[in-house]
Amino acid sequence: MDRLLWMHCYARAVETGSFSAVARELSIGQPNVSRHIASLESHLGTRLLHRSTRKLTVTPEGERYYAEVRRALDAIAEAESNARGEDQPQGLLRVACPVALARFKLMPLVKQFLVAYPAIELDLHVADRKVDLIEEGVDVAIRVGELRDSSLRARRLGTARRICVASSTYLSRRGVPQSPEELRDHNCIRYSLLATGTIWPFERQPVEVRGNFRVDSPEAVLAAVLDGIGIGLMPSWLFADSLAAGTVRQLLDNWEIPSLPVNALYPAKRLMPRRAAAFMDFVADAFAVDEALQ
């Protein structure tokens, strides 16, 4: 009874979504993969996967078990690597990142990272929701904003400087606000995931804004600003190209808005894989020379 093999088959089935892919990877044949996972389920006395002809679906029990199995397999791989004296980080690295930050700042680094660390398999989850690192088996989550979860540790990667912008077409139609207070008379695009809600947090004069468009995506805020719908408040790097092209204009630049930290988060009570540390070092070094993240 090789439970370690069962666990490995199960973890890779969850990660690839396919028994066939696991069979090719381990060179053991698809019927053997199915049999190993069935043996694991029988040993545990619970269903881990729902199987159909088209896809695998992980059960809630399977999700929790996967997170534990992944940690165990990572610890074993790390121990074996250390015993062999291997210096290169390797293995599966699961990273979560917000959509806009991934598109504008992280994706341009992915090729360089994979070239530098060819033995790492990067599994990037791009979503604006806050993933549960423990439950979902994520090694590193990059987030913009203050850390509120005491079960996580944070490493500062950079800073998101926020600015207020609008398109020339909107400003020609509605005028240019001269103070935060005047934003009350403008159509402001409300980002529904903003920690301060409808309050735009200018340091000297926070103001509650109004508008007829609310959205939970920074990229949608950018699109709405470019379309002349209203005024937006977002990190400066989101508008860098539009500012350079002159299609949008920065407003109220004499009124400071608190910047937000950009952190790499990882579980406090889990062994940090070498590949996760390598990833954070790589991104921190790249962000340190990016003026938009200072």
Structure-block tokens of residue 127: 């979503």
| Structural domain boundaries in the chain | 3-83, 89-158+260-293, 162-251
Does residue 170 carry a pLDDT above 90?
yes
Instruction: State residue 77's pLDDT score.
Output: 77
What confidence category does residue 86 fall into, taking pLDDT thresholds of 50, 70 and 90?
Answer: low
User: What is the SS3 string spanning the chain?
Assistant: CCHHHHHHHHHHHHHHCCHHHHHHHHCCCHHHHHHHHHHHHHHHCCCCEEECCCCEEECHHHHHHHHHHHHHHHHHHHHHHHHHCCCCCCEEEEEEECHHHHHHHHHHHHHHHHHHCCCEEEEEEECCCCCCHHHHCCCEEEEECCCCCCCEEEEEEEEECEEEEEEHHHHHHHCCCCCHHHHHHCCECEECCCCCCCEECCCCCCEECCCCCEECCHHHHHHHHHCCCCEEEEEHHHHHHHHHHCCEEEECCCCCCCCEEEEEEEECCCCCCHHHHHHHHHHHHHHHCCHHHC
Amino acid in position 20: S
Instruction: State residue 74's pLDDT score.
Output: 77
- Percent of the chain beyond pLDDT 90? 64
Task: Yes or no: say if 175 and 166 are a contact pair by the CB < 8 Å rule.
Answer: no
Most confident segment among 17-26, 112-121, 147-156, 267-276:
112-121
Read off the pLDDT of each residue in 107-117 and give the average, rounded to a whole number.
96
Q: Among 131-145, 180-194, 240-254, which stretch is predicted with the lowest mean pLDDT?
A: 131-145
**Of 146 and 42, more confident:** 42
Pick the CATH number of 89-158+260-293 from 3.40.50.2020, 3.40.190.10, 3.90.180.10, 3.40.640.10: 3.40.190.10
Task: Yes or no: say if 32 and 8 are a contact pair by the CB < 8 Å rule.
Answer: no
**Of 285 and 70, more confident:** 285
Topology of domain 162-251, CATH = D-Maltodextrin-Binding Protein; domain 2 (3.40.190)
Strand order in the sheet with 162-167: 232-235, 162-167, 248-251
Does residue 208 carry a pLDDT above 90?
yes
Domain 3-83 grouped into CATH 3.20.20.70: no
CA distance 293 to 49: 42
Does residue 275 carry a pLDDT above 70?
yes
Q: pTM score, two decimals? A: 0.72
Does residue 146 carry a pLDDT above 90?
no
Structure-block tokens of residue 189: 């695009």
CA distance 16 to 55: 11
Instruction: State residue 145's pLDDT score.
Output: 86
Write the pLDDT tens digit of every residue in 180-191.
999 999 999 999
Structure-block tokens of residue 24: 């090719």
Fold match flag (89-158+260-293 vs 162-251): yes
Does residue 248 carry a pLDDT above 90?
yes
Task: Yes or no: say if 283 and 109 are a contact pair by the CB < 8 Å rule.
Answer: yes
pLDDT averaged over every residue in the chain? 90
CA 87, distance to chain mean position in Å, is 27
Instruction: State residue 87's pLDDT score.
Output: 67
Burial category of 36 from C-beta neighbours within 10 Å (exposed 0-12, middle 13-18, buried 19 and up): buried
Instruction: State residue 269's pLDDT score.
Output: 63
What confidence category does residue 150 fall into, taking pLDDT thresholds of 50, 70 and 90?
Answer: low
CA distance 139 to 264: 10
Identify the CA nearest to 266 among candidates 254, 250, 277.
277
Write the pLDDT tens digit of every residue in 38-71.
999 999 999 999 887 677 889 999 988 988 888 7
Instruction: State residue 148's pLDDT score.
Output: 74
